[in-house]
């Protein structure tokens, strides 16, 4: 009598391969936000949670001063002169520290934040009183972007890119930019990303490349 064919045993192997992340070009059409979109983002942040003022102020300072997520999260009150209207920026990634002027809007927002947070040495703190984290800021920006009904997902570094986009459209020259970011400008880079290419046509390719190099 012929034996019946053995039934295949289901595989118990688990595919532990990490899924490949889609490139940015598939996630969003650009890597910056316009001024109107920044305003929408701040407005949504104010309404989204009970920490709305804190989140809106983080967005404002990050955009105005081209800060990285780690730089804004580690910001301390001893870096801010509310009476003198100055912000002492401590750059990450080997950047050179510098002093930036604060606008009246920023000073008012920071004064309100200080009244709500008199004990911590950090400007932006969590519910438990510790300094804000880059992971938390990432989630906040992503969720606030959804609340603002922006047409694509966003991340914190896009605020820094937005600063460069505005400077490019305003026709900013390299010298003021170098002073603002406290970094040496190199004009040798040619691989200019698309988010900076579409700035003002009067802003030269070499200058655009240099801006990109120090905003990434």
| H or E segment and range at residue 81 | strand 80-81
Q: What is the pLDDT of residue 24?
A: 75
DSSP 85-130: TEEEE--STTPPPEEEE--HHHHHHHHHHHHH-SS-SBSSB-TTSS
Task: Record the tokens describing residue 107, joined without a space.
Answer: 């000073």
Q: CB neighbours of 99 closer than 8 A, spacing ≥ 6?
A: 86, 87, 88, 89
pTM of the model: 0.77
Strand order in the sheet with 80-81: 80-81, 86-89, 98-101
Residue 22: the pLDDT is 77
* Nearest-angstrom CA–CA distance, 164 and 180: 11
Query: What does the pLDDT read at residue 149?
Result: 96
First to last CA, the chain: 74
Give the integer Cα–Cα distance in Å for 104 and 74. Answer: 22
> Residue 115: its pLDDT value, please?
94
d(CA 24, CA 27): 5
Quick one: pLDDT at residue 77?
97
Please report the pLDDT score of residue 167 as a whole number.
80
Q: What is the pLDDT along the chain (216 residues), one digit of tens a residue?
A: 566 666 677 667 666 676 777 777 778 888 999 999 999 999 999 999 899 999 999 999 999 999 999 999 999 999 999 999 999 999 888 878 889 999 999 999 999 999 998 889 999 999 988 999 999 999 999 999 999 999 999 999 999 989 888 887 777 655 555 555 545 444 434 334 444 444 444 445 444 444 544 555
Residue 94 has a pLDDT of 80
Q: Which pLDDT does position 1 carry in this prediction?
A: 53
Go through 63-92 and write b for each residue having 16 or more CB atoms within 10 A of its CB, e for each that does not. bbbbbbbbbbbbbebebbeeeeeebebebe
**CB distance 113 to 95 below 8 Å:** no
């Amino acid at each position: 009598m012929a034996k019946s064919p053995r039934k295949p045993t289901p595989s118990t192997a688990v595919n532990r391969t990490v899924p490949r992340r889609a490139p940015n070009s598939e996630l969003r059409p650009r890597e910056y936000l316009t001024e109107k979109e920044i305003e929408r983002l701040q407005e949504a942040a104010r309404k989204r949670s009970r920490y709305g003022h804190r989140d809106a102020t983080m967005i404002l300072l990050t955009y105005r001063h081209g800060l990285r997520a780690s730089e804004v999260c580690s910001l301390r009150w001893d870096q801010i002169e509310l009476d003198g209207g100055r912000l002492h920026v401590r750059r990450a990634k080997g950047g050179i520290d510098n002093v930036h002027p604060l606008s009246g809007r920023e000073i008012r927002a920071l004064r309100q934040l200080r009244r709500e947070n008199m004990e911590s040495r950090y400007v932006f703190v969590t519910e438990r009183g510790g300094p804000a984290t880059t992971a938390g800021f990432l989630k906040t920006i992503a969720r606030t972007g959804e609340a603002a009904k922006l047409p694509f997902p966003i991340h914190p570094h896009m605020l820094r890119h937005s600063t460069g986009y505005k400077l490019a459209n305003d026709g900013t020259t390299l010298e003021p930019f170098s002073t603002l970011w406290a970094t040496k400008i190199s004009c040798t880079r040619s691989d200019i990303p698309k988010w900076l290419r579409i700035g003002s046509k009067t802003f030269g390719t070499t200058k655009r490349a240099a801006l990109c190099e120090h905003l990434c």
